[in-house]
Amino acid sequence: MTCASGTPSTSGPSPSSTVGSVPSSSSSAIPVGSGGRRLTVADGGVQVRRSSLSRETVPGGTERGRALSTPYPPTNRRTHPWLNTTVATGLSGPLVRRPVYHGVDFSGAAKPADDIWLASATPTADGLRVEACRSAATAFDASGRDRSVVLASLRDWLADADGPVGLDVSFGLPRPLLPAVDDWRAFLDWFADAFAGRDAREMQTALKERAREGAADGVELKRVTDRPTGASSPYSFITRYQTLHGIRDVLAPLVRERGVAVAPMAPDDDPLCEIYPASTLRALGLPDEKYKGGTHEGERARRATIVDGLREWGVELDDATATTLVEEGGGNALDAVVGTVAVARAVARAFDTNPDRYDPLEGYIYV
């Protein structure tokens, strides 16, 4: 995960002058992946080139730029039918060093390890290949552990992630509820301080009171990005625990203390971004409701339909993973995998936003 703060040194090689690279006149660039990565075909080989420097920490706490270049075999080019981007595949098999996209289905429960799921996928010539999907209980050996322990492990995992991550939690609140803040980072500061030591019910009560004191219509307000995507109010009885613990205990420490990038408010390479899996499913024409939670008739059949639909869209799943997505009744495993699709779609659009549903103080849902 790339930090959104700090300036790389200019004393090292420039991003466009990688070691062993060939003159630009003899190469053609193929956009792929995230964070400015490009595959450059040149003289029968392929080199990975970054449009911005990667960073590594050196003694003394400083950072220095490091340009990367790795040769690969000749390639064929194929276009993603649904990501609207292009990848390169080796004649003898897939290239190494593919980008990795992560999806996280979040929970603010008191013991959330079994409800938080993490999925990772890599782009292929036809879509995505899901490489891993597991619960936080398995990933962090945290079964039955309290929220604070699980979220600390999640923060470490997010900070060290090797690609962009979609996180299924509200990244902000409706503007009418906010004090006078300059930007989204200032909102994080206010939120973390205002609700330090408070529980989700207390947060919800305080926000409803702020809504009553303002001129807005109603007490459970939505953000600009919530209505068109079908998301609930960030402080409804459905979302209040996720929002409190997602913003205060995950996002705020990652941004304030570890400089993690967040799209589109604090952008840099490989950012965190907000996702809403139901909206992504809707965009793909797949069932987007009554497929999770254990309270609706036919949930398992809908999950099976979604899995079949994802495969038709080009998402590769081994049989064991597909079975997990269908049989895990909470739908959390499935949502994590859908999160990787949302991230891939965001990467293909360079994390661009629709101005009609983006307020820079509130956050933005990528679908």
165 part of a folded domain? yes
Residues 158, 49 share a domain = no
207 part of a folded domain? yes
What pLDDT is attached to residue 2? 60
What pLDDT is attached to residue 97? 54
Residues 147, 198 share a domain = yes
Whose CA is closest to 316, among 165, 116, 119? 119
129 part of a folded domain? yes
Amino acid at 317: L
Residues 173, 216 share a domain = yes
Residues 193, 303 share a domain = yes
pLDDT tens figures, 184-199: 999 999 999 999 999 9
Instruction: Compute the distance between CA of residue 87 and CA of residue 76 in angstroms, rounded to an integer.
Output: 9
pLDDT tens figures, 36-81: 322 222 222 222 222 221 222 222 332 222 222 222 222 232 333 3
208 part of a folded domain? yes
Residues 126, 76 share a domain = no
What pLDDT is attached to residue 217? 86
What pLDDT is attached to residue 272? 98
Residues 120, 52 share a domain = no
Residues 278, 209 share a domain = yes
11 part of a folded domain? no
288 part of a folded domain? yes
Residues 208, 347 share a domain = yes
What pLDDT is attached to residue 29? 27
What pLDDT is attached to residue 216? 82
* Regions in the chain scoring below 70 on pLDDT: 2-97
pLDDT tens figures, 24-34: 333 222 222 33
Could you tell me the sign of the dihedral formed by the alpha carbons of 132, 133, 136, 142, in that order? Answer: negative
Instruction: Compute the distance between CA of residue 20 and CA of residue 42 in angstroms, rounded to an integer.
Output: 11
Q: What is the pTM of this model?
A: 0.76
96 part of a folded domain? no
Residues 151, 36 share a domain = no
Domain boundary among 46, 67, 90: 90
Instruction: Compute the distance between CA of residue 306 and CA of residue 316 in angstroms, rounded to an integer.
Output: 13
Domains in the chain, number:
2
Residues 178, 106 share a domain = yes
What pLDDT is attached to residue 65? 29
What pLDDT is attached to residue 215? 81
Residues 140, 280 share a domain = yes
Q: Residue 219 is part of which domain span?
A: 101-366
